[in-house]
Structure 1
Amino acid sequence: MKLIVGLGNPGKEYEHTRHNAGFDVLDELARLCQTSIDQKKFNALIAQVRIGSEQVILMKPQTFMNNSGEAVIQAVNFYKIETKDILVVHDDLDLPIGKLRIRTQGSSGGQKGMQSIMNHLHTQDILRIRVGIDKNPLIPIVDYVLGKIPKESKADFDDSVKKAADAAYMSINHDFSEVMNRYNKA
């Protein structure tokens, strides 16, 4: 069993904000799998799908970003999922819009949802796909991440969401180094 987690904040007011890039990617991944992420379990919305020969849980924690680890640890404990079988998708202020960065480990880079997951799992060795949202030094970070992608950047952002969903899908049945080689260049 594998777990793919998209980070974001629940509620209509946060839909399609920069900080919900992980939710957007999971919605695109669910579309690829011809399902909806709508089952309530583990303080999250989940869907169970089969990708190739693997059973996969798609998860959108509903705990708010900073407490994402609370939902993840519940699923990990219930299904006995190994850390190597977890992939987290989240926004990244340090990457330009349209850019992905795929890694096997590392710090949270200040992303509080990722930090919460690392704290609950007691490791930095977590597969991740970071989706660039850029930053604006003139706008306070909280206001920026909770804002919408501007129209002039929407096509690049949507393209990165599709690529991230494709990368997550590919990660289920391919070596993660292949995924990194393919999508880190994109």
Structure 2
Amino acid sequence: MTTPPRRLLFIASIGNQKPYRFTRHSAGHVLLDALLPLLRSRFGAVDQYYTTYYSPSFMNESGPKLVRNLNKWLSQADKLVGPSRTGFEVPAPIGVPATLVILHDELEAPLGKVRVKRGGSEAASLRGHRGLISSFESLRGKGMYPVKRGRDLSVLRIGVGIGRPESREKNAVADYVLSEMGAGERAAVQRAAEPVVSVLEDEFYWEESSKS
């Protein structure tokens, strides 16, 4: 990173844990696995400017722990980053601008296709994605988003396509997302890390007033 960023990034993947760690519904975790070495080579080791987080909860319960850990990390980062650090113009007690990046599976996108959306349901439908719904419910419950209390917090949703079954039946979709990805599917999700790391690089310098 040649110049100090203007935002902090909390990069979180949501999905499921064992025995569903490598199912289609956990594509966000697989994407973060592939992102880690790219993040380190592009931006250096995890430090006060960004961190990564794998949700330890099942998808439908992602929100509470995610937001708790986000809050904890931001509080620690505020102590390290302030007006004395070039690039940040907001006094540390108020909190420097930050973005919560949520990596998730995208049922409505072709396999490996990356879709980026800023904001919650007020900006674009969550399409019934229970992990996203839980995350935004928790953010709203803590008064962090969309209401901003003392901090410019943006949310960037990065979905990686997993395709969908031909059948639109509820049980067919559930079986599909909870089935383990094949080697080719995992490789397609992993390849998505390249365009995603470029999105994250831009996000370090994104400003609320800028067009996105």
> Which range, TM-score by smaller chain?
0.7 to 0.9
Q: CA deviation at 1:162?
A: 4.0
- Counterpart-to-counterpart distance in 2, 1:29 and 1:152: 18
Write out the 4+ residue segments of structure 1 that deviate beyond 6 Å after TM superposition.
none
- Counterpart-to-counterpart distance in 2, 1:83 and 1:20: 29
Equivalent residue for 1:55? 49
Higher RCO structure (Cα 8 Å, ≥6 apart): 2
Matches within 5 A, 1:145-160: 145-151=177-183, 153-160=185-192
1:30 to 6, 25, 36: 36
- Counterpart-to-counterpart distance in 1, 2:137 and 2:106: 19
Q: TM-score scaled by structure 1?
A: 0.73
Q: CA deviation at 1:23?
A: 0.4
1:5 to 2, 9, 12: 12
Equivalent residue for 2:163? 134
Deviations 1:5-29 (A, max 9, x none): 1111111x21321111110111112
Q: Which has the larger radius of gyration?
A: 2
- Counterpart-to-counterpart distance in 1, 2:112 and 2:9: 26
Q: CA deviation at 1:109?
A: 1.5
Structure 2 stretches lacking a partner, 5+ long: 1-7, 76-94, 147-153
Q: Contact 2:67–2:139 at 8 Å: present in 1 too?
A: yes
Structure 1 stretches lacking a partner, 5+ long: 36-47, 182-186
Deviations 1:26-53 (A, max 9, x none): 1112222459xxxxxxxxxxxx813xxx
Paired AA for residue 14 in structure 1: Y
Higher helix share: 1
Relative to structure 1, is the Cα distance of residues 171 and 109 closer, same or farther in structure 2, using a 3 angstrom cutoff?
A: farther
What is the aligned-residue RMSD (CA, Å)? 3.0
Q: CA deviation at 1:94?
A: 0.6
Q: CA deviation at 1:98?
A: 2.1
Relative to structure 1, is the Cα distance of residues 155 and 74 closer, same or farther in structure 2, using a 3 angstrom cutoff?
A: closer
Matches within 5 A, 1:84-123: 84-105=98-119, 106-122=124-140, 123=145
Relative to structure 1, is the Cα distance of residues 31 and 176 closer, same or farther in structure 2, using a 3 angstrom cutoff?
A: farther
- Counterpart-to-counterpart distance in 1, 2:60 and 2:192: 23
Is residue 2:157 matched to residue 1:143? Answer: no
Instruction: Give the match's secondary structure for 1:85.
Output: strand
- Counterpart-to-counterpart distance in 2, 1:119 and 1:91: 19
Paired AA for residue 101 in structure 2: L
Q: CA deviation at 1:171?
A: 4.1
